[in-house]
Structure 1
Amino acid sequence: MPAVAPINLDTIPKPTLPPTLPVNPLPIANPVFSPNSQQLYQISNSLQQPNLLSPSNINVSNWQTNLDTVIFPIEERLTRDFVNYLNLPSTNAIATLEDAQNKLSAIEKATGIKPALIYITFLPKGNTIVDRSYSGSSILRVEQQIQNSEELELILVTASGEPIRRRIPLTSRTEVLALVQKFRNEVTNPVKRNTKSYLPVAQQLYQMMIAPLDAELQARGINNLSFISDLGLRSVPMAALHDGKGFLIERYSVGSMPSLSLTDTSTSNFKDTQLLAMGASQFADMSPLPAVEIEVSTIARQEWPGKSFLNQAFTLANLKSQRQQQPFGMIHLATHAEFRSGDPSNSFIQLWDTKLRLDQLRQMNWHSPQVELLVLSACRTAVGDRDAELGFGGLAVQAGVKSALATLWYVSDEGSLGLMSEFYSQLKNAPIKAEALRQAQLAMLRQTVRIEGGMLHTSSGSLPLPPSMSNTGSGNFSHPYYWSAFRMIGNPW
């Protein structure tokens, strides 16, 4: 794709947003403080800037006040959200700032990659009560009503150096989530895939979520970002945020965690493991996926050592049996998967003979022996839905795997084939899994991965397309619709 010319941010039109909803906040119920944490932190709200969502006018404030007392409650709250929704075993082992920095330091030493965690949350305007209290093994919490007027806040944690806290004043939950919705709509709109209509919103969100941390990220030499995000922000295609010159993915590998406390951050040599690839191309009540046959066979035979099974052999019994016979460390499922509203049992992975529901994943015992990576190549997540976000964001921990690669929306069949073929090729040499994904996304952005003359071209060679796709013609995958949906969930290393 030709280089995108820098855009004057002052000329970006502001989107039409719904007005901030009137809120009658409830008082904080039964606050409990330990003798050492009975403090009320005053957060400045005195900065007044015009043009609420004009990126050139966004100002930030910086607080360095005992950040462990800020990070710990955020970790606890986000962990509790996933534990409750997915019915996971309760845990009191909530990660502290020291835990986070120790883990990041270990990753840096093991991989040579400099990682960072970025918490993106909403917090009430004005006063914020920060509580870190213990009673035996129980964690006592200050509950607070979600308010539509809450402001966006960022916290950057790296292996060394002080954490950075940035409040983005004059933002609100209502307006930020409206921008997120608009961004996803622009990226996924099939009518606009030959346009750059997404750029203004991609740049606005970049200015809110990344720009306030830009200087520190560059000064510390960071090249991998893991986002730990609040309700409504977990479905943002972060890879496609844009600074006016390039996409976020052009500078960093990107992933997401439900919380650090729920993520297995240990490292291991995943390149020595075998791949179990299964998939279905035909379905009784869902659209066909004609590229699956070549995707599954190519990956397992050419890109990564392992076994492959298609259609009638893609049964629940065979999936279990193959793992019992051989401890495959990577599982690739090329089939429809849906993350839906409501109970986790509503979300599923479609096998040939049944639906493997989200609440059944723990029964697959993919944690014993440990599966390093679960790949779902044809997912769809309900847009803007809390439960769907929790199911998608908690996929790795629910499945008992270290990492999961899945899509926020259903990408075209040939687009998934292109990215997956390139991903496994890059995985052979990449230092971490998220970097392999980044290189695959860049290959699509830069048209190294493309369809031409009835062939799928990748950095490692060309593949003939199946007969049902022979009339696809020329396929350009440079639009972020094709590559920004893919998300590394859990441990990105």
Structure 2
Amino acid sequence: MLKSLNKLLLTSSLAITLGFSAVMPSTAQTLDEKIVKMEQGLEKEFETYFDSDLATTNQLPEEMAKTLARMGEATNTTPAVLWAMPREDHLHLVLITPNGEPIARNLYDLPKTKVREIANQFTRSITNPRRPFNQRIAKELHQALIEPFELEFLQPTGIDTLLVCMGDGLRSLPLAALHDGDHFLIEKYAVTRIPAFNLINHEYSDIQRGGILAMGASEFEELKPLPAVPIELETIVEQLRSIKPAKEEWHELSLLNQDFTQTDLQALLTHRAFDIVHLATHAEFMPGSSSQSYIQFHDRKLTLEEMPKFDWNQADVDLLVLSACRTAVGDSEAELGFAGLALQLGVDSAIASLWNVNDAGTLALMGDFYQELSVQNTKAEALRQAQLKMLRGKIQFEGDRLLLSRGSVVPIPDDLSSQIPPTKDLSHPYYWAAFSMISSPW
């Protein structure tokens, strides 16, 4: 009795501290039903946007908890799934940990309009590296999304990986840059954004087995050039070669400019297998239907609506990387396109950026990410480690060279030198928080 009373007092104290009007979890059965309905609503939202039948599984909350435990054992991680759903009059949060019961929190001081306003303000505040980092807003968002569960559930169970499913108004939030006053979120957890738990792959495959198709364009007729693309493609292939044991070499193919066409991609995906497809080119997630969002090839734009026509499954693609994306902040359709990228293609995972990071910053993160990918247990942890290295100054520019964290040196061509930050410092969230893992973290 005393233990239950202490737990109730602790929860009530947290509610007062964070300004909640109602935080007590619903009864287990009612909450299970609500989670199922919430998942079905998310699935319908993405199916309507992509005009496709997407759902392949229908796990109940108890099964989700078992899946998290199983995937954690397979990857030596401790994952949890967190839903953050803005409602008209409150923010609805649900957490499931490995083999755990679902826990819900409702924040009635954060209606949908306020959540969207704060999230958009935060995202815009870090898209310019000349602006000081706004820790106040970052802390406010961390307090709303993470703190309701952190002390009581995340820390005691040793959670190190968060699968975050966000509703309308939050899907373009740069989660890695949330801040608790002492640490960024990425310093505590590997983070991936998911469209819905039942819309991601629940199996683990070792991406280290080796095969990458690296394609891109540095020159465009109507869009601004991307001078770092040739060195980016060369660098990521070289990093994979340098880390992989000689007896387990990566099989790579790199195509640039005139060879970067939709016809070439289709032919390669049809006849060869690749674990990773890396596209270094302009990509835009735009307002409107999926036909408005696109990836720019050398010959023409490929819309998000058209992307399933390629044989991604036949090529056994596990990870798609888009290194030069931009998403219309605050637009519901653009956010659906971004969050559903891997889902639309049928690949397990994708990495894309929320805003255009300058060429030097992109080169730094991508170069280190591919080093980490060969040594970390999960894709999400590889991205996290690359982001941490940038944050902590372990990736830096020295004259006309880029020094990666594991000792590799990348020469910087003259036409890219203007992109190097004057301070040569990449710790500002502008350089690393834009890049997001989408769908499966494994």
Match of 2:41 in 1: 77
Say which SS state the counterpart of residue 345 (structure 1) adopts: coil
Aligned partner of 1:178 among 101, 112, 117: 117
- Deviant stretches of 4+, over 6 Å: none
TM-score normalized with structure 1 length: 0.81
Instruction: Within 5 Å, give how 1:225-240 maps onto structure 2.
Output: 225-240=162-177
Which secondary structure does the structure 1 equivalent of 2:377 belong to? coil
Contact map agreement 1:346 1:358 (CA 8 A) in 2: yes
Instruction: Find the counterpart in structure 1 of residue 156 from structure 2.
Output: 219
| Counterpart code for 2:416 | M
Amino acid at match of 2:65: Q
Taking the TM superposition and a 5 Å limit, the aligned residue runs for 1:279-428 are 279-304=216-241, 305=250, 306-428=252-374
More helix by share: 2
> 1:92 and 1:462 mapped to 2: Cα distance?
44
* 1:453-472 equivalence runs, <5 A: 453-460=399-406, 461-471=408-418, 472=420
Cα 1:341–1:459 change in 2 (3 A) is same
Q: TM-score, normalised by structure 2?
A: 0.90
Answer whether contact 2:115 2:169 (CA < 8 A) is retained.
no
Three-state SS of the structure 1 residue aligned to 2:214 is strand
**Matched residue SS, 2:323:** strand
- Tell me which residue corresponds to 1:201: 137
CA contact (8 A) 1:451 1:474 kept: no
Q: What is the alpha-carbon distance in structure 2 between the residues aligned to residue 301 and residue 189 of structure 1? A: 30
Query: Which residue does 1:488 correspond to in 2?
Result: 437
Unaligned runs of 5+ in 2: 1-10, 242-249
Instruction: Give the direction of change, closer, same or farther, for the CA distance of 1:58–1:479 in structure 2 (3 Å limit).
Output: farther
Paired amino acid for 2:59: A
Q: Contact conserved, 1:276 with 1:300, CA < 8 A, in 2?
A: no
The whole-number CA distance in structure 1 between the counterparts of 2:295 and 2:389 is 28
Q: Tell me, in whole angstroms, the C-alpha distance in 1 between the residues paired with 2:110 and 2:346.
A: 37
1:269 aligns with 2:218: no
Aligned equivalent of 2:244: none
CA–CA distance in structure 2, aligned partners of residues 59 and 242 of structure 1: 23
Write the distance in 2 (CA, Å) between the matches of 1:418 and 1:386: 30
- Higher alpha-carbon deviation: 403-412 or 101-110: 101-110
User: Structure 2 CA distance, aligned partners of 1:490 and 1:92?
Assistant: 14
Write out per-residue CA displacement over residues 417-443 of structure 1, whole angstroms, 9 at most, x where no aligned residue.
Answer: 100000000011101000000000001
Query: Which residue, out of 110, 116, 123, partners 2:80?
Result: 116
Which structure 2 residues correspond to residues 10-159 of structure 1 after superposition, within 5 A? 57-58=19-20, 61-65=23-27, 66=29, 67-89=31-53, 91=55, 93-123=57-87, 147=88, 150-159=89-98
* Structure 2 residue 166 is matched with structure 1 residue 166: no
Measure, in 2, the Cα distance between the counterparts of 1:402 and 1:155.
24
Unaligned runs of 5+ in 1: 1-46, 124-146
Which entry has the higher C-alpha Rg, 1 or 2? 1
Q: Percent identity?
A: 42
Per-residue deviation, 1:262:
1.3
Secondary structure in structure 1 of the residue aligned to 2:121: helix
SS at structure 2 position matched to 1:220:
coil
Once the two structures are TM-superposed, the CA of residue 191 in structure 1 deviates from its matched residue by 3.7
Q: Kindly state the Cα deviation for residue 92 of structure 1 after the two structures are TM-superposed.
A: 7.6
Question: C-alpha distance in 1, partners of 2:193/2:42?
Answer: 13
- Shift of residue 94, structure 1, vs aligned partner: 3.1
Shift of 1:476: 1.2
Measured in 2, the distance between the counterparts of 1:301 and 1:239 equals 27
Displacement of 1:91: 4.2
- The alpha carbon displacement at 1:93 in A equals 4.2
SS of match in other structure, 1:212: helix
Q: Contact 2:395–2:426 (CA<8 Å) still a contact in 1?
A: yes
Q: Is the 8 A contact 1:48 1:170 kept in 2?
A: no
* Paired residues of 1:58 and 1:208 also in contact (CA < 8 A): no
User: CA offsets per residue over residues 57-113 of structure 1, 9 Å max, x none?
Assistant: 456612141221121011000111001101112648433212311221220121110
